[in-house]
Structure 1
């Protein structure tokens, strides 16, 4: 089985020199950005470059497009990039109304390009106050597979001044994780680490995200990918322990060979480790 994506690399859509490098990188998926990273004067150029890249995307590579938050620009984005190679779109400043519009745009694009109905997925970026307050509705919107978090915009709107560990935003992270689990979505994608050179900080903050219930993270630079992928990949010891638990117990409570009490909750965690490791036969994470 294919484990869920651990790393999503943002790449500006108008930077043709970076697009191919992103596809060839160690990212599990790329997010071709038509929004913040692209100046207004370069929007159309970015759409053309992204469309060309999708047309030549190698088999097995996962590519998403972050569309603009402006409804008119988003409509132009979707019309330009909808194709069989596109996994779906990332919707910035995601709230119920923008997500309904996104579903309409994708449905129209699928019909126009003769794509499978409902095949283009959506990753909403929770980065507004209303998006946080309506996060359950965001999870329930059509096509949503997992959530992402945009903490820079969110902190600005909430007038927060986060510390180096973004402690002030940890409560909101828990809301996103809780809503995702309740809706049966994949575990959410954590926000970027803006210091692309400090690998120690990246390791620390990514490990925090793992402990908080995230199972992937966005990246701004290819040099961040190795650390992100490593943190969200179970170690050999974790996989061996999980496999032993699953082998020894079939859903009934008991005490394992080390004296630890094992109940169905512990087994669920073990199955999740095996699914993240891509072990054949493991249920989805």
Structure 2
């Protein structure tokens, strides 16, 4: 499967600090569809240069399929580390890196700088984390090389001055904006933000269920323990898959057009829903121990 397809179908995106190369293999083996090696929030200011060096040293050890599952989250435009991060990306973009997560994305110029560094074969995932980013969301979604939008829920709360409860009901309009911008730009469903409690499975399941109900297709993870629950939350269950398979079989038997199944009319929107359900049932990467 191509890196572009992996990014389009990925459900779980696991962060790992760039200055912890000892954790890279564990992250890749966690079952996460995509691993994000983080040069931004996970790395202290004094450690940024060393983290770039550690990532550069480790990158040559990744296999081709592993590179096709890797994103690098760089430091934001306007920070002292942005230009040095871009220099590092020029090398990775030529060696099969799947994409770059662009934090605090607000303008097209932010994305153009990154795209120019990595080259045309590397995808971009703008992370909407500010009110200005929300204002520019449609332009960000339509920018060249953008594969999906991602939400930085915690940074957005801080930037907007919100004090959200655990259900983050105050952020519902922002999440809807990400979904609609993605649809207008014909992008795959956006990626929701993190659940801070790494051992709070109840909150994680509630958050992931809310994300899926709200049209999101994946979620950012900050600990390997979150991956399996996120994958399960975004995967269709056996009943949903069976229904989708029956829809597609009935469509083939009817020769296209509108038909009836279980006493209900099935037309093009229902067929698209069945196709989407089947696509969600195909993990973009094999589980640990499975063959690709």
In the superposition, the TM-score normalised over structure 1's length comes to 0.89
2:71 aligns with: 64
Aligned counterparts of 1:24 and 1:49: Cα–Cα separation in 2 = 20
1:196–1:221 Cα contact (<8 Å) kept: yes
Q: Which moved more, 1:53-62 or 1:195-204?
A: 53-62
Deviation at 1:109, TM superposition (A): 4.6
Note if contact 1:190-1:218 (Cα within 8 Å) is conserved in structure 2. Answer: yes
Separation of aligned partners in 1, 2:117 and 2:195? 35
1:254 partnered with 2:263? no
2:21 aligned with 1:16: yes
Q: Distance in 2 between matches of 1:176 and 1:144?
A: 13
Match of 1:185, SS state, is: coil
Q: For 2:208 and 2:22, how far apart are their aligned partners in 1?
A: 28
The residue that corresponds to 1:164 in the other structure is: 166
Deviations 1:115-156 (A, max 9, x none): xxx101100001110111111101011210100000111111
Aligned residues: 269
Distance in 1 of aligned mates of 2:150 and 2:71: 13
5+ residue gaps, structure 1, are 111-117, 280-285
Name the structure 1 match of 2:82: 74
Whole-angstrom CA distance in 1 between matches of 2:189 and 2:180: 9
Provide the C-alpha distance between the structure 1 equivalents of 2:58 and 2:188, rounded to a whole number of angstroms.
27
Residue in 1 that maps onto 2:98: 87
Kept after mapping to 1: 8 A contact 2:105/2:111 = no
Residue of structure 2 equivalent to 1:100 = 109
Matching residue within 12, 31, 35 for 1:7 = 12
Alignment of 1:125-274 (within 5 A): 125-249=127-251, 251-256=256-261, 258-274=262-278
Q: More displaced, 267-276 or 48-57?
A: 48-57
Match of 2:289 in 1: none
Q: RMSD of aligned C-alpha atoms?
A: 1.7
Give the structure 1 partner of residue 39 of structure 2: 34
Deviation at 1:59, TM superposition (A): 3.2
When residues 43 and 169 of structure 1 are mapped into structure 2, their CA distance, relative to the original with a 3 A threshold, is: same
Label 1:171 to 1:40 Cα distance change in 2 as closer, same or farther (>3 A): same
Unaligned runs of 5+ in 2: 284-292
Alpha-carbon distance, 1:217 to partner:
0.6
CA contact (8 A) 1:251 1:264 kept: no
- Match of 1:119, SS? coil
**What SS is found at the alignment partner of 1:93?**
coil
Secondary structure of 1:89 counterpart: strand
Does the 8 A contact of 1:75 with 1:105 survive in 2? no
User: Are the structure 2 counterparts of residues 119 and 125 from structure 1 closer, same or farther at C-alpha, using a change threshold of 3 Å?
Assistant: same
Identify the residue that residue 113 of structure 1 maps to in structure 2.
none
Give 1:198 shift.
1.1
> Counterparts of 2:277 and 2:122 in 1: how far apart (Å)?
27
CA distance in 1, matches of 2:274, 2:131: 35
**Moved beyond 6 Å, runs of 4+:** none
Task: Specify whether residues 216 and 244 from structure 1 end up closer, same or farther in structure 2 by C-alpha distance, changes over 3 A only.
Answer: same
> How far does the alpha carbon of each residue in 1:156-213 deviate from its partner, in whole angstroms, 9 at most, with x for none?
1111111110000011101100110111001101111111111121111101101100
